[in-house]
Amino acid sequence: MDQHNHQHAESPEMLSLMGYSLARETGQFQKGIELCLKAIAMNPHSSDNYLHLGRIYLLAKKKDLAMKAFRKGLRVRKDARIIDELRSMGIRQSPPFASLPRTHVINRVTGKIMRVLKLR
């Protein structure tokens, strides 16, 4: 492998994708997690790295860790794929006013307004 190909294989994007592929195809969850964590350490500003990590955690049946990874990814960028993963897990966004119950009229109306304005 020449220097250029080696650098490409060690890019954060390739590491996290390799980690996810390894976990999905061979069940090597720990190795996949390690590759994704290395990718995140190299580039914490890529939502793809958190997406792949969260998907590995889901494959490994670690839903709580998957949720944490997905939420960190959303803080980096509002990635539709991460939002879809959270929805498929049955996870809803926190209410606009966390100190009030989800069903409180203020949370319901504010949530609807935010959704119409595409702020959520």
Residue 26 CB contacts under 8 Å (≥ 6 apart), including other chains: none
Q: Is the pLDDT confidence value at 41 over 50?
A: yes
Which domain does 111 fall in, by range? 95-120
One domain, residues 54 and 104: no
Distance CA 29, CA 60 (A): 6
Q: What is the SS3 string spanning 28-39?
A: CHHHHHHHHHHH
Read off the pLDDT of residues 73-120 as tens digits, 9 standing for 90 and up: 999 999 999 999 998 988 667 788 989 988 899 989 998 898 888 887
pLDDT for the residue numbered 7 = 52
**Phi, then psi, of 92 in degrees rounded to 5:** -100, 160
Q: Does 61 share its domain with 77? A: yes
**Whether residue 49 sits in one domain with residue 33:** yes
Q: Are 12 and 26 in contact (CB under 8 A)?
A: no
Asked if residue 40 and residue 11 are part of one domain, the reply reads yes
According to DSSP, residue 49 is labeled H
Q: Measuring CA to CA, which residue among 18, 57, 56, 58 is closest to residue 35?
A: 18
Q: Verify that 25 and 73 share a domain, yes or no.
A: yes
**How high is the mean pLDDT of the chain?**
89
Q: What is the CATH number of the domain that holds 27?
A: 1.25.40.10
Q: Which residue has the higher pLDDT, 90 or 60?
A: 60
Q: What pLDDT shows up at residue 1?
A: 46
The structure tokens listed for 94 are 């926190």
Of 7, 15, 5, nearest to 41 (Cα)? 15
